[in-house]
């Protein structure tokens, strides 16, 4: 996965419970759990906004980009071949 979700880290920093967050932003605990595990294809901006508002954080506090190992390997191979 290229996008890493660190919602659990921010919940711990804010000493907030998943159950309370889910209730506050209007999603099920199951859907919040899937989001925390990175098992979703996307997240609505309004949901991300509600999470940020509740946790008093920025989207970048919850999401980060990490290249896939295969993509990194392909880029390295391409650089080596093309100089």
pLDDT tens by residue, 15-24: 999 999 999 9
pLDDT at 40: 93
Domains of the chain: 3-82 (1.10.260.40)
**CA neighbor of 33 nearest in space, from 17, 45, 46:** 17
Average pLDDT, the chain: 90
Instruction: Specify the length of the chain in residues.
Output: 83
Q: Pick the closest to residue 32 from 3, 8, 9 (CA basis).
A: 8
Question: What tokens were used for 63?
Answer: 């999401």
pTM: 0.78
pLDDT tens track for 16-51: 999 999 999 999 999 999 999 999 999 999 999 999
């Amino acid at each position: 996965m290229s996008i890493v979700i660190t919602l659990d880290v921010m919940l711990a920093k804010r000493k907030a419970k998943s159950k309370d967050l889910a209730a506050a932003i209007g999603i099920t605990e199951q859907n919040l759990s899937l989001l925390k595990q990175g098992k979703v294809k996307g997240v609505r901006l309004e949901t991300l906004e509600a999470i940020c508002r509740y946790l008093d954080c920025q989207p970048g506090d919850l999401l980060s980009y990490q290249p896939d190992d295969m993509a990194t390997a392909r880029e390295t191979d391409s650089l080596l071949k093309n100089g």
